Amino acid sequence: MSAVSTNTTLRDRVSELMPQAHDDLAALVACKSVADPRQYPAEECLKAAQVVIDRFTGAGLQDVRLEETPDGHPAVFGHRPAPEGAPTVLLYCHYDVQPPLDPTGKAWLTPPFELHERDGRWYGRGAADCKGNIVAHLTALRALGGELPVGVKLIAEGSEETGDGLERYVPSHGDLLDADAIIIADVGNFAVGVPTLTTALRGYAEAVVTVSTLATPMHSGMFGGPAPDALIALIHMLATLRDADGNTTIAGLPSDGHWDGVEYPGEQFRSDANVLDGVDLIGDGPVADLLWARPAVTVLGIDCPPVVGSAPAVPAQARALVSLRVPPGLDAVRAQEALIAHLRSVAPWHVKVEIEAESPGQPFSAATGGPAYRTMDHALEEAYGRPVTTQGVGGSIPLCNVLHETLPKAEIILLGVEEPTCLIHAPNESVDPREIEKIALAEAIFLASYASAH
C-alpha cells in the first residue's frame, strides 16, 4: 500500500475514533488525580492509572502495569515488542494534574472533574495537560490496530506536576525504557491548527534572598529615617534585576539571544498572556527572543508585613523568592551563581544578606537532524496540511535531560495538544478536539513510517 493511501486510511480511522477519544478523556478527567494526598486521596491517582492501564491494554500494548518510583507515585509502563530489526518508540505522557485552583468554586463555568463541551472545545482539569495527550497516544495506537511496524513502549508518569519520581526512576531503568525515539507529549502547537515541534525548553534557577537590618521592628515614628528599612533594601535589590525597559539585567548573563523558529506577534502574545489593556509588554526585541532565547527573571513571592494587620514599624527583615528562566546555551548552575552574585553586589547600606540557592534545572535543546525528527516533521505536515514550524517553551521539563543522559542515542521529540488557549494550570482548562485528532493522526503516520526511515 502506498504512503498516500496509508495516510488516507489512517485519517479515516482516526476520525471514526473521535467519539471513543471523547469517552477516554471523560473517564480520565473524572479522576481527581492531583498527586498530593493533602488535597485529594491517593486513590484518585491510582484510579487514573488504572484507566491508563485498561485503555492501553485494549489498544494492543502488553503487560501494562504499575512501576513504583522513588517519590511513591507509580508510573504506568507497557510495551509491544518491535519486529525483527525495527526501531522502538517510547511514548511519554503523565496522568496527574494540577489542582483546580478555585477555592470559591466560581471561576470554573463547569465542574472541573467532568468533561463538558462548549463552543467546540472540551473542558475539564487535565483535558489538555496531559490527559488530552494520553488520548492522542491511545487514538494513534487504535488507528494502527495490529499494523505496528515498530516497537512501542509507554511510560505514563504519576507525579509530573508535583514530584520527581520518574526523573529519579529513569537512570536505573535505562534497559526497560530503551528506545530509538522518544515522543514527549506534554507540550503543544504554537496555535490551533499550526503544526509545531518544540525544540527548546528553558531551564530554571531559583534563590531565596533574606535581608535583615534590625534586631526587631522599630516604631517608624520614633526611629524611621535613619533606621534601615529591610523591605526597602530588598525592593532596591530586586529592582536592579530589570532595567527601565524591562530587560533582565543580571551581571554576567547575556541578554541578546535570538530565536530562529516561529515569530510570536506581540498582539497575539498580549492575548495569550492576558495582558491588561494599556499595559506595555516589556523588554527590547521580538517576543520570541525574549521568551525562548534570553534569560528572564521573575519575583515569585515576597515575605513582608501584610497591609491588613501591619504596624507603624520599620521592617527588620524581608525576603523574596527569585526565579530565573535559563535558555538553551546557558548553564543553569552558572546562571544561578550570577544571580546570587548580582543580588549580593547591589545590596545597599551594608545590610545583612542571606541567600539560599534552590536546586537548578538545566535547559534542553532537541537534536533535529535525525530520521525520527524528519519522519515526524513529515507526519505533522501530512496531518495538518501545512508546513511545520518550531517553538521554544518557557517552562521546564527536567525529565528531557534525564532521558537524554540515560538514553543518549534516542531522538527526543516534543509535541502535543496544549496550545495557548487551553489555559493549562488555570480554571476552565480545555482542549480543542481537532488538536487531539490531528496529533493522533500525525503520531499514527509517524509510527507507520518510521521503520522505513530508520
- Per-residue pLDDT tens over the stretch 103-142: 677 899 999 999 999 999 999 999 999 999 999 999 999 9
Same domain? For 79 and 67 the reply is yes
154: which residues sit within 8 A by CB, 6+ positions away?
Answer: 56, 61, 64, 76, 77, 78, 79, 90, 91, 93, 137
CATH of the domain at 341: 3.30.70.360
Q: Are residues 43 and 182 in the same domain?
A: yes
Looking at 335, 357, 379, which one is the last position of a domain? 357
Pick from 51-55, 92-96, 305-309, 320-324: least confident: 305-309
439 occurs within a structural domain:
yes
- Split into its structural domains, the chain has a count of 2
For residues 369 and 350, membership in a common domain is answered with: no
SS3 175: helix
CA 296 – CA 294 distance, rounded (Å) = 6
Pair 326, 216 in one domain: yes
Length of the chain measured in residues: 454
Determine contact, residues 295/250, Cβ cutoff 8 Å. yes
Are 101 and 136 contained in the same domain?
yes
Pairing mode, strands 151-157 and 75-80? antiparallel
Name beta bridge partners: 357: 207
Residue 271 located in a structural domain = no
Please write the tens of the pLDDT for every residue from 157-216.
999 999 899 999 999 999 999 999 999 999 999 999 999 999 999 999 999 999 999 999
Shared-domain flag, residues 66 and 120:
yes
> Catalytic pick from 67, 96, 167, 229?
96
| Residue tagged active-site, from 160, 206, 429, 443 | 160
Residue 279 resides in a domain:
no
Domain boundary pick from 357, 385, 401: 357
Residues 165 and 244 in one domain: no
Give the pLDDT of residue 103: 67
Same domain, 25 and 167: yes
The distance in angstroms from the start CA to the end CA of the chain is: 19
- 101 and 33 within one domain: yes
Kindly state whether residue 272 falls inside one of the protein's structural domains: no
Domain termination residue (choose one: 338, 357, 376):
357
Q: Domain check: are 326 and 433 in the same one?
A: no
Quick check: is 28 in a domain? yes
For residue 344, the enclosing domain spans 203-255+295-357
Q: Report the sign of the C-alpha dihedral through residues 412, 417, 422, 424, in that order.
A: negative
Q: Give residue 261's pLDDT.
A: 87
Backbone angles phi, psi at 376, to 5 degrees: -70, -35
Q: Does residue 290 belong to any structural domain of this protein?
A: no
Residue 30: inside a domain: yes
Report the relative pairing of strands 352-357 and 313-314 from DSSP bridges. Answer: unpaired
The pTM of the full predicted model, rounded to 2 decimals, is: 0.88
Q: Which residues pair with 185 in a beta bridge?
A: 415
The answer on 177 and 37 residing in a single domain is: yes
pLDDT at 16 over 80: yes
Q: How confident is the model at residue 398 (pLDDT cuts 50, 70, 90)?
A: confident
**Dihedral angle computed from the Cα positions of residues 8, 11, 17 and 18, in that order, rounded to the nearest 10 degrees:** -150
Q: Is the pLDDT of residue 1 over 50?
A: no
**Residue 96 annotated in active site:** yes
Reduced to 3 states (helix: H, G, I; strand: E, B; else coil), residue 362 is coil
Same domain, 97 and 222: no
DSSP of 384-451: HTS--EEEEESS--HHHHHHHHHSTTSEEEEE-S--GGG-TTSTT-EE-HHHHHHHHHHHHHHHHHHH
Residue among 250, 236, 214, 240 nearest 352 (CA): 214
Contact 354/210 with Cβ under 8 angstroms?
yes
- The verdict on residue 260 lying in a domain is no
CATH of the domain at 63: 3.40.630.10
